[in-house]
Structure 1
Amino acid sequence: MGKKGKKCQTLKYRNTTANCGIRNTKVAFQKLASPQILDFFRVRKLDQKLLFKLETKLHSIHSLADDAERKQFTDPHVRSWLLKVKNAVLDAEDLLDDIQMLSKRELDDETESQAFTGCTCKYVGGDIYFRWEVGQKEKIQKETRHFSVELDSDQNFDGFETPCNTERLRTFMRTANNVKKMPMGLGKLKNLIVLMESFNVGHGKEFGIQQLGELNLDGSLSIGELQNIENSVDASEAYLKNKTLLVKLKLQWRRNWDSIDSKKEEEVIKNLQPSENLKELAILEYGGKQFPNWLHSLPYLVSLELNGCKSCERLPPLGLLPFLEDLSIDGLDGIVSIDADFYGSNSSSFKSLQRLVFSHMRQWKKWECKGVFPRLQYLTITSCPKLKGELPKQLIPLKTLYIRDCQQLEASAPRALDLMLYDCGKLHLDWATIKILTMEASFLEIVWSNTIEYLCIFWKSISDDCVSLRIFPLDFFPTLKRLELIGFPNLQMISVDHIHNHLERMRIIKCPKFESLPANMHMLLPSLNDLNIEQCPKLEPFIEGALPSNLKIITLNNCSRLLVDSLKGAFKDIASIERLFIEKVDVECFSDEGVFPLSLTELYIRDCPNLEKLDYEVSRLSSLQSLTLNKCPNLQYLPKQGLPKSISYLYISSCPLLKQRCQKERGEDWEKISHIQRLYILE
C-alpha cells in the first residue's frame, strides 16, 4: 500500500472513531421519539420537562460534536473532549434503554396481573449490570452492558463463554490484590471502558504488558513486576500514551539490586510514557540512573511519588510541573546533591507545590535552595543523616515542618506554625512564628515567644555529664496552652511570676529531680484543668489550697514522696475534678475522708501492690460512673457499703483475690456489683 493509501486509511479510521459519538446521538434521538418512551412518561406521569431537557442537551452535544469533528486533527484537546462526549452519550443511551425496558416490563406485569392475583416484583436493570464470581452458575445476559468479574490472585478469566452481545458492553471491571492475563478480544470493543486495579507483567507475549495495548483503560492502574519486560519495545506496545481516561498510574519493579541493566530500565520507562491527562503517578524501585524526560512534561500532574529508585543520580526539573501539589521522594540513595536543575526555572518553579517529603536519602549532603516554594505548606525531611546544607527560606510560614534523624543539620529551620523536630542536630529555630513545637533535644536555647500555644520537649541525653535545664521559665511563653516536659534529668521546678490565663494542660514526666509545682497555682494558673505528673519521685506533697480550682483531670504516677494523706488537703474545696488516675502509690487503703473529691466521675487505680481494700471513701462518691482496678494483687475487699449506684462501668484486671470474690452469683462481693451494666473482670 502506498503512502496515499495509508493516509486515506488513517483518516478513515480517525473519522470512524470520531463519528461514534455523533452516531450514538442520532440513535438516542430516535429512542427519545419512540412510542415506548413517550407512553412510559405519560403513564407514570413523569415530568415532561425532564424529557425535553434531555433532548435539548443531546441536540447541543450533536451541534458541538459536528464542529469538534473538524477541529480534532489540529487540536488534541478537542479529540479528548470528543471521547468524553462519546461516553456521555453512551450513558444517555443506557438510561433510555433502561426506561424502555422498564416500560416493557410494566406492560408485561399489567398483563400478568389481569390473569393472576398477588404482587409481581422484578429487578429492573439486573440484566444490564452483571457481576460474576468464581463458581457462579448464573449466566451473563445479552442485555448486559456493565460487567464486573472478581477473581482470586491465582485465577484467570479467559472469556465470556455465554451469548453476551459484547458489542453492547460499556464497562468491564476486573478486581483481583495480581491480574496477569486479560480476556481475548476486549481491545476490539471500541465502546468498552476497562477498569482494573492492578496488572502484573509476566513472561512471554501471552502474559506480557502488550495485553494492555488496545484496552480503553479508565481510572487508576498499578502495573507491577516490570522487571519481567524482556524487550523495551514491548513496553511501547502498552500504548499508555493513548490511555486518555487513565488518571492515576503506579509503575513498580521488583528486583535483585545486585544485577541491574540500567540502560534497559531507562528504555523501558521511556516507552511507558503515559497520557498527558495523568494526574497521579508513582514510580517504585526503578533501576535506571536517570528519569525519563516525559516525567517533567505531564501538564496536569498533581501528585508524584518516587520511591526506592536507588540507582538514580539526579532529579529531573520537577519544578516545571505547573499543577504539582504533592511530591514525595523516598529512598533515592544515589542522590548526593539537589541543585538548580531540580527547579528548572527560578522564576516560576513549583508554583503549586503544597506538600514536599524527603525520606531515607542516606547519601544526600547538600540542598541548593535557590528556588522559592510560594505555596508550600507541609515539609518533611526524615532519615537524611548526611544533610548539612541550607533549608528553604519561606516568605509565608509553613503549616507543618517535620524533621527527624538528620543529625548533621545546623542550618536555620524554615518558618513554620507547627514544628516537629527529632534528632536533628543544632537546627536554629525562628520562634517568632511557631504555634506548636514538638521536639527531641540534647541542646536547647529557650527564647521568649508570644506565639507558642503548645510546647512538648523530649530531652535526649548524649552523655552522663550533659547539662540540661534546671528551672523552666513559664513566663517566657505567655500564650502557652499546653506544656509537656519529658525526660529532663536536672529539672527541679517551674517558675512563674505572672498570671497565665491560657495554660490548660501541664505534663511533667520522667524528671527524677523535679521537686515542686509553681507556688500559688490557684491564682497564677486559673485555667489549668489537666495536670499529669509521672515518674517524679522527689515531688513534694501538695500544699492545702495550692491547686487551681478549675482542675478536671489529675494523673499521679510513681511519685513516691507524694503521700496519700496530702491529697486530702489538696482537693479540699475543689468541686471541679472529674477524673483521677493514681498509679504506683504505696498505700494499704483509702479511708480518710476527703482523699477523693465528691465530684469524681472516673477513678483509675493501677499498680498499687500494697493496696488491700477499698473503704467507705469510695462508696460515698455519688457521681462516680467509671471505676478501674488494675494490677493490685493484694486487693480483696470492696467497701462494705457497696459501690455507688451511679457506676455503670467496672473494670477489674490482675487483681486475683478480688476477682475470686466477684465471681458471678458465687462470689461474696457479687451483690455489690451485679447492678453494673458494663462489667469486665479479667485475669
Structure 2
Amino acid sequence: MLGLGDPAWDLQQAERLTIGKVLKEMVEVNTLIEIFEVSRSLRLLDVDAPALEMISEKIGNLIHLRYLVMMDEKFIMLPRSLSNLYHLQYISCPKLRISQHEVDFLPSDINNLSNLHYLTLPDYYISSICGIGKLKSLQKLNMFDLRDVSGYRIEELKNMNDLCKLGINCLKNVKDGEEARNAQLCEKRSLTNLTLCWSDTNQRNINLDENVLDKLQPSKCLRNLSIKRYMGAKSAIWMNNVNPIFNLEKIELTDCLEYETLPPFGQLPFLKSLQLEKMPKVKWLESKFNGNDKYHDFPLLEVLQITKLKALEDWFEAGVAAEDGCLFSCLIELTLVDCPKLKELPSLPPKLNRLHIYKIGWTTLNFCSNSNPIPLVFVNVICCPNITSLPLADEIARLAALRFLTIKECPNLISLSRYREVETTNNFHLMISRLSISNPSVLLMEPLRSIASLKMLTIANNDEVVPFPNEVEQWFLKVRSSLSELKSLEFLPSY
C-alpha cells in the first residue's frame, strides 16, 4: 500500500504524475483510487500499467486535469466521469486495440469536453461520438464516418473551426450540395490537411458526387489534399481555379474511376508531391486551361507517383508546349505503375534520383538529360515486356551516381546499349553496389559484366532458368547473392 503520509509521496500538491512501475510492483490497484482522492491539483496524468483494464470513476476528482495519457492496450472502457473534467485538453490512448465488443468505450457525453484539443484514439471510437460538433476546440479529426442519422451528419463539422487535420468518410451519405456546404470547410482557417472519402466505387449519381465536392471547398491555407473513391467525371470548380488551391504541397487522388480531366496541378507553385492511382479515364497529366497553351512544369514537384492510369497517353495534351522546354525541373522521385499507353519522357528531369517503372509500354529508357552527371541513384525496371534496350553503356560517364539497379521480367531485353555491340572502355565503369535481375544473361551484357563494385546480387522471379551459364556462376564467388522463385532451377551454383 502506498504510504500517502510519507513526505516522499506528497501527492496533494503534485501537478504531474506518471504511473507505471509503481502499479507493477503493488498488488492493490486501489492505489489509483487513493491517488485520485488526494491529488486534486494534477494537471498531467500518464498511466502505463499493463495489468489495468479500467480506470476508477474517482478520476472525476481531478478537476484541474489537462493531459491524460494511457499507454495500456487492454483498456475496455474509459471512466464515465471523464466527461466532467471540463479542463481536459488532451486524451491519448496510442496503443489501444479496437474490439467489436467495446461499443461503450467512450462516455456517451464525451462531447461535453469543449476544451479538448486532441483525442488520440482509433478512428472507430472517434466516429462513434454522437454530436462530435460540440468538441469545438478539437484540432485533429483523422476520419469522421458520416451517417444519415442525427448527430453524425456533415453539419457536425460546422463550428469545428480549430481543426488542422480532417478526414471525412462515407460522403455518399450527404444528400446534396447544400448539405455538404454545412461543413463550412472554407471557414476553417487552420485546416492544412484534408481527406475526402466516398465509401465505395459502386454505381452512384455522378452529378451528386460533383455537386457535393463543389461545396466542400477548403480555405486557401490547405497544404495536403486527398480525395478517394470520388465518382464524378470532372473536378470541383474550386480545383480548376489555381487561386483556391494555390498553397497545396501534396495531392493524392485515388480510385476516382470516372475522372477525365485533371485540374491545372502543373501551375501550383508549391506542389511537392502528386500521387494519382486508379483513374482509368485520364489521358493527360496536364491539359489546356483558360486558353493557355503553355505548360507549367510543376516548378517545385519532387515526388510523382502514377499508378494504374491505363488510358494515360501523354504528359500533356496535344498542342500544349513546355514553357521553358524542361519538364519537372525539381523532380527527385518518379514512380510509374501499369500505364501501358504512356509515352516516354522526352528527357530525364535534371534532379531525378529515383526512377521506378512497372508494366510500362516503353521500348527503351531515355537517359537524355540536361544534367551532367545524371543524378540517378535508384533505377527499377520491372515487368516491361516491350523494353528491348536500356542504354546504360552509352551513358556510363554520366551515371556515376547509380548504385541500385533492378531489371526484372523484361523478356525482350537484348542490350544495355542503344546499339547491339558496345565497345568496352577502361576509363569509366558503373559503380553499382546492388543488382537485382530475373534473367541471369543480363550479367553477360556490357557494362554489367565489367563492374567491380557489386556487393549484392539478387536473381529472382524466373520460371525458365535451369542451369546458370558458367560465366554467371563466377559472380557467386565474388559477391553476396540471393536466389528466390526460380522454379526450374536444378542445381545451385558452385560456390
Structure 1 length as normaliser, TM-score? Answer: 0.49
**1:173 equivalenced with 2:128 (yes/no):** no
| Paired residues of 1:391 and 1:413 also in contact (CA < 8 A) | no
Post-superposition shift, 1:301? 1.1
Matches within 5 A, 1:546-625: 558-559=491-492, 562=494
**1:212 equivalenced with 2:180 (yes/no):** no
- Computed over aligned residues only, the root mean square deviation of the Cα atoms, in angstroms, reads 4.5
User: Taking structure 1 as reference, are residues 144 and 332 closer, same or farther at Cα in structure 2, changes over 3 Å only?
Assistant: same
| Paired residues of 1:489 and 1:512 also in contact (CA < 8 A) | no
CA distance in 2, matches of 1:339, 1:331: 17
Structure 1 counterpart of 2:42, which letter?
Answer: V
Query: Where in structure 2 are there 5+ consecutive unaligned residues?
Result: 1-12, 16-37, 45-63, 71-75, 485-489
Tell me the alpha carbon deviations over residues 185-234 of structure 1, each in whole angstroms, 9 at most, x when there is no partner.
Answer: 954x87x3443221011014432101111113423222100011112211
CA distance in 1, matches of 2:92, 2:452: 62
3-state SS, counterpart of residue 361 of structure 1: coil
User: Taking structure 1 as reference, are residues 331 and 347 closer, same or farther at Cα in structure 2, changes over 3 Å only?
Assistant: closer
CA distance in 2, matches of 1:220, 1:429: 44
CA distance in 2, matches of 1:284, 1:428: 37
Structure 2 counterpart of 1:277: 221
| Paired residues of 2:142 and 2:167 also in contact (CA < 8 A) | yes
CA distance in 2, matches of 1:324, 1:345: 21
| Paired residues of 2:330 and 2:349 also in contact (CA < 8 A) | no
Structure 1 counterpart of 2:65, which letter?
Answer: I
| Paired residues of 2:80 and 2:107 also in contact (CA < 8 A) | no
Structure 2 counterpart of 1:246: 191
Between structures 1 and 2, the one with greater helix share = 1
User: Taking structure 1 as reference, are residues 229 and 477 closer, same or farther at Cα in structure 2, changes over 3 Å only?
Assistant: same
CA distance in 1, matches of 2:132, 2:356: 51
Tell me the alpha carbon deviations over residues 244-275 of structure 1, each in whole angstroms, 9 at most, x when there is no partner.
Answer: 222111100023533x2111111100111112
Which is further off, 484-493 or 373-382? 484-493
| Paired residues of 1:278 and 1:301 also in contact (CA < 8 A) | yes
3-state SS, counterpart of residue 282 of structure 1: strand
User: Taking structure 1 as reference, are residues 490 and 223 closer, same or farther at Cα in structure 2, changes over 3 Å only?
Assistant: closer
Post-superposition shift, 1:123? 6.3
Post-superposition shift, 1:125? 1.0
Post-superposition shift, 1:334? 1.3
Structure 2 counterpart of 1:364: 312
**1:423 equivalenced with 2:383 (yes/no):** yes
User: Taking structure 1 as reference, are residues 345 and 373 closer, same or farther at Cα in structure 2, changes over 3 Å only?
Assistant: farther
CA distance in 2, matches of 1:392, 1:181: 51
Structure (1 or 2) with the larger CA radius of gyration:
1
| Paired residues of 1:505 and 1:529 also in contact (CA < 8 A) | no
Structure 2 counterpart of 1:206, which letter?
Answer: G
Matches within 5 A, 1:254-333: 254-258=199-203, 260-295=204-239, 296=242, 297-333=244-280
**1:478 equivalenced with 2:478 (yes/no):** no
User: Taking structure 1 as reference, are residues 337 and 217 closer, same or farther at Cα in structure 2, changes over 3 Å only?
Assistant: same
3-state SS, counterpart of residue 147 of structure 2: coil
CA distance in 2, matches of 1:485, 1:152: 42
User: Taking structure 1 as reference, are residues 200 and 380 closer, same or farther at Cα in structure 2, changes over 3 Å only?
Assistant: same
Structure 2 counterpart of 1:197, which letter?
Answer: N
User: Taking structure 1 as reference, are residues 303 and 342 closer, same or farther at Cα in structure 2, changes over 3 Å only?
Assistant: farther
CA distance in 2, matches of 1:232, 1:364: 30
Structure 2 counterpart of 1:354: 302
Which is further off, 224-233 or 197-206? 197-206
User: Taking structure 1 as reference, are residues 502 and 270 closer, same or farther at Cα in structure 2, changes over 3 Å only?
Assistant: same
Post-superposition shift, 1:507? 6.3
Matches within 5 A, 1:111-260: 124-126=42-44, 127-129=64-66, 131=68, 134-136=77-79, 138-139=81-82, 144-148=87-91, 154-155=103-104, 157-160=107-110, 169=115, 171=117, 173=119, 175-178=121-124, 179-180=126-127, 182=129, 184=131, 187=134, 192-258=137-203, 260=204
Post-superposition shift, 1:138? 4.6
CA distance in 2, matches of 1:516, 1:349: 46
Which is further off, 422-431 or 498-507? 498-507
**1:402 equivalenced with 2:339 (yes/no):** no
Post-superposition shift, 1:518? 9.5
Tell me the alpha carbon deviations over residues 276-315 of structure 1, each in whole angstroms, 9 at most, x when there is no partner.
Answer: 1111111001011111132243222111000000001111
Tell me the alpha carbon deviations over residues 303-352 of structure 1, each in whole angstroms, 9 at most, x when there is no partner.
Answer: 10000000011111111211110000110011134454389774754111
Structure 2 counterpart of 1:107: none
| Paired residues of 2:259 and 2:281 also in contact (CA < 8 A) | yes
CA distance in 2, matches of 1:122, 1:204: 39
Aligned with residue 338 of structure 2, among 363, 376, 383: 383
CA distance in 2, matches of 1:142, 1:249: 30
Query: Where in structure 1 are there 5+ consecutive unaligned residues?
Result: 1-100, 104-119, 450-467, 536-556, 563-581, 583-683
Structure 2 counterpart of 1:393, which letter?
Answer: S
3-state SS, counterpart of residue 398 of structure 1: coil
User: Taking structure 1 as reference, are residues 264 and 392 closer, same or farther at Cα in structure 2, changes over 3 Å only?
Assistant: farther
Structure 1 counterpart of 2:245, which letter?
Answer: L
**1:512 equivalenced with 2:482 (yes/no):** no
Structure 2 counterpart of 1:530: 479
Which is further off, 216-225 or 389-398? 389-398
3-state SS, counterpart of residue 207 of structure 1: coil
How many residue pairs get aligned? The number is: 393
3-state SS, counterpart of residue 216 of structure 1: coil
| Paired residues of 1:494 and 1:518 also in contact (CA < 8 A) | no
Post-superposition shift, 1:394? 3.3
3-state SS, counterpart of residue 123 of structure 2: coil
Structure 1 counterpart of 2:153, which letter?
Answer: G
User: Taking structure 1 as reference, are residues 472 and 269 closer, same or farther at Cα in structure 2, changes over 3 Å only?
Assistant: same
User: Taking structure 1 as reference, are residues 270 and 137 closer, same or farther at Cα in structure 2, changes over 3 Å only?
Assistant: closer
| Paired residues of 1:247 and 1:277 also in contact (CA < 8 A) | yes
3-state SS, counterpart of residue 405 of structure 1: strand
| Paired residues of 2:201 and 2:231 also in contact (CA < 8 A) | no
Structure 1 counterpart of 2:19: none
Matches within 5 A, 1:432-471: 432=395, 433-434=398-399, 435=402, 436-440=404-408, 441=410, 442-447=412-417
CA distance in 1, matches of 2:466, 2:427: 21
| Paired residues of 1:490 and 1:512 also in contact (CA < 8 A) | no
3-state SS, counterpart of residue 234 of structure 1: helix
Structure 1 counterpart of 2:66, which letter?
Answer: Y
User: Taking structure 1 as reference, are residues 279 and 428 closer, same or farther at Cα in structure 2, changes over 3 Å only?
Assistant: farther
3-state SS, counterpart of residue 210 of structure 1: helix
| Paired residues of 1:491 and 1:514 also in contact (CA < 8 A) | no
Which is further off, 426-435 or 510-519? 510-519
3-state SS, counterpart of residue 197 of structure 1: strand
Task: Determine which structure has greater relative contact order: mean sequence separation of CA pairs < 8 Å that are 6+ residues apart, divided by chain length.
Answer: 2
User: Taking structure 1 as reference, are residues 152 and 446 closer, same or farther at Cα in structure 2, changes over 3 Å only?
Assistant: closer
Structure 2 length as normaliser, TM-score? Answer: 0.66
Structure 1 counterpart of 2:417, which letter?
Answer: V
Tell me the alpha carbon deviations over residues 59-90 of structure 1, each in whole angstroms, 9 at most, x when there is no partner.
Answer: xxxxxxxxxxxxxxxxxxxxxxxxxxxxxxxx
Structure 2 counterpart of 1:604: none
Post-superposition shift, 1:420? 0.9
Structure 1 counterpart of 2:231, which letter?
Answer: G
| Paired residues of 2:232 and 2:259 also in contact (CA < 8 A) | yes
Tell me the alpha carbon deviations over residues 414-472 of structure 1, each in whole angstroms, 9 at most, x when there is no partner.
Answer: 656132112332376453243243223322323399xxxxxxxxxxxxxxxxxx99x99
